[in-house]
A = this chain, B = another copy of it.
Amino acid sequence: MTEKKNRKTAAILAIGDELLSGRTRDANMHYLAGWLTSRAIRLAEARIVGDEQSAIVEALNAMRPRYDYVFTSGGIGPTHDDITVDAIAAAFGVPVIEHPKAMDMIERWYRARGEEVTPARKRMGRTPEGAVLIDNPVSGAPGVRLANVFVMAGVPRIFQGMLNAVDSELERGVQLYSRAATAYGLPESRIADQLRDIQNRVAGVAIGSYPIDGDVKGVTVIARAEEEQTAFSAIDAVAAAMRDLGVEPKMEDNR
């Protein structure tokens, strides 16, 4: 696949029993996927594990040597079931410290609101040794970066705020050219043989086929390439195949 050339890779590890029990539907993996795509960074893998240190450590140590950036979400709050900071430290083999600047941020955040700085709130100022803070524009307690690992909150609004805070630290890739053709009333299986031919015939393109399941069935085909002309050639061939099957496609640009 041409699209992998020269692009930074990323992974996300979402942490939380509530994601695996069905209580909460994770929103951060999907948000991050789109956010990275718009920066031409390739999200290569996503995992969810529960609030269990050994599971977090093992997943993180499998992912961090393999990808340029690893994002975690969840488990950095004030309660006893928030164990991500300790797990990250264990994964890196470093101690957890009370980070002076994080402590200062937290104390000022709560004092400014006339609230007490409880032991639980101070706990959010603990970081793995050597970590750099990630600004939290929403609720005060910072995330942390350690090497290529970005440790962020699970609450979507805070996760997104922390992403914005690290945006400038990430190296963007070159955007692929991408074109889409959608045919309603055409089941994917009717055009599958033609798509395989086009994939084999047009060098440098990656053709994806995505069935539409709803009241009206259909298929969206997306051609991605580093060269604009390649994406156009492929999608034109797809559109011609759709017309041969009696359906006028809807064409659009697409990421």
Using CB atoms and an 8 Å cutoff, list the residues of chain A in contact with chain B. Answer: 17-26, 29-37, 42-50, 55, 77-81, 115, 118-121, 123-124, 155-158, 188-190, 192-193, 195-196, 199, 207-211, 213, 222, 254-255
Contact = CB atoms under 8 A, between A and B. Distances in A.
Copies of chain A in the complex? 2
A35 B20 contact: no
B25 A80 contact: no
13 contacts: A20-B43, A21-B37, A21-B255, A22-B30, A22-B33, A22-B34, A22-B36, A22-B37, A22-B43, A23-B210, A23-B254, A45-B48, A155-B211
Contacts of A24: 210
A222 B26 CA distance: 18
Contact of A45 (B45, B49, B158): B49
A23 to B, nearest CB: 7
Given A21-B255, A192-B120, A81 B47 contact: no
A51 to B, nearest CB: 8
A80 B195 contact: yes
A28 B209 CA distance: 19
Nearest to A138: B213
Contact of A23 (B44, B78, B255): B255
Contact of A80 (B115, B118, B199, B210): B199
A27 to B, nearest CB: 9
Contacts of A22: 30-37, 43, 255
A122 to B, nearest CB: 10
A111 B158 CA distance: 53
Which interface residue of A21, A33, A190, A193 has the most chain B CB atoms within 10 A? A21
Contacts of A196: 79-80, 120
